[in-house]
Structure 1
Amino acid sequence: MKRDMRKTEREISKEEAKDILLKGEYGVLATISDEGYPYALPLSYVFADDIIYIHGAKEGHKLDNINFSSKVSFCVVGDTKVLSEKFSTNYESAIVFGKAMIIEGEEKTHALKHLIEKYSPDFMVSGLKYIENDQHRTTAFKIEIEKISGKARR
């Protein structure tokens, strides 16, 4: 986690990296299993209050891994454009290292509201009702960010 970026000329500011997190549609969460294997999966998320919030099922590989080790990495790729003639790509990305933890109560409700605001803003009323009636069917997590970095070729 403490490695320096190899191509420092491509490093972007923390604020630019946060902007990529804010506007991204999905991210890839990487966890580690009790057998030592990495597990990475794409998922929807929201970045709010300098925290990444995600939700998921009440059981499964992701939950097992987070219960084994809270250390995670999370990556979001922003705008990209393949430059065929240059055998290259313009891109922007943000990577976060942090600790994931299950959240409950008001914090869980807060996270789920942010997810609805991001993905279903035209359906807030029904979304809030959904949270009220069915939040017991989902697990909510937060990733407390320990390090954030970003990289771009534009």
Structure 2
Amino acid sequence: MTKPLRREDRRLDDAAAMALLKRGEYGILSTSDQSNRPYGIPVNYVVMQESIFFHCATEGQKLENITANKTVSFCVVGKTELIPEKFSTRYESVVVSGTAEMIEDDVLKKNVLRALVAKYAPEHTSSGEAYIDKLMDQTAVVQVCIAHLAGKSRK
């Protein structure tokens, strides 16, 4: 169960929160290990099928933590602007909670990698395809199934 937003007047509706999630450049993935030690790391990602997908090496802290505890949080911050005279900031952000798992299906994995190329390097799709083929076996893809999404903004 999630707590209600403290500033309900700043809540983004679900459509606006999802739009911010989809257009974000990177997000911070937060996990915890088997001893509940937290770990947050920025990742490039893509939203497909109402889930968040990212790629990584086939071993490392992210995957160890996800194996130990599939519950994760993912945060994206959009546009920000300092308002010094008000000691505040204009912002937009979205926080997701959900569960993460490695993708084993090669067709889905390749589609996610293609979507990442389309998002981050759209002018390099043909060389991206070759890059995917070359490194597919050395690349893991993780899906975060969204259980809860909440966006906030200060205009």
Instruction: Compute the TM-score of the two structures, normalised by the length of structure 1.
Output: 0.97
* Offset at residue 13 of structure 1 (A): 0.5
Alignment of 1:6-85 (within 5 A): 6-85=6-85
In the alignment, does 2:113 pair up with 1:117?
A: no
Tell me by how many angstroms 1:144 deviates: 0.6
Q: 2:150 aligns to what?
A: 149
What are structure 2's unaligned runs of at least 5 residues? Answer: none
Q: Displacement of 1:46 after TM fit?
A: 0.9
The code of the aligned residue for 2:18 comes to: K
Q: How far apart, in 1, do the equivalents of 2:74 and 2:40 lie?
A: 9
Alignment of 1:85-96 (within 5 A): 85-96=85-96
**Runs (5+) with no aligned partner, structure 1:** none
Aligned length: 154
Mapped partners of 2:5, 2:138: distance in 1: 40
Q: Which residue of 1 aligns with 2:134?
A: 133
- State the identity %: 40
Q: Deviations over 1:63-110 (max 9, x none)?
A: 100000110000000000000111000000001111111002111111
Give the whole-Å Cα distance in 2 for the aligned partners of 1:135 and 1:46: 17
1:27-57 alpha-carbon deviations (Å, 9 max, x no partner):
0000011111111111111112211110111
CA RMSD in angstroms, aligned pairs only: 0.9
Measure how far apart 1:58 and its partner are: 1.2
Deviating above 3 A after TM superposition, structure 1's stretches of 4 or more consecutive aligned residues are: none
CA distance in 2, matches of 1:137, 1:146: 29
Q: Distance in 2 between matches of 1:120 and 1:44?
A: 12
Shift of 1:15: 0.7
Paired AA for residue 27 in structure 1: G
Distance 1:19 1:29 in 2: 18
- Superposition TM-score, scaled by structure 2 size: 0.96
Aligned mates of 1:131, 1:16 — CA distance in 2: 32
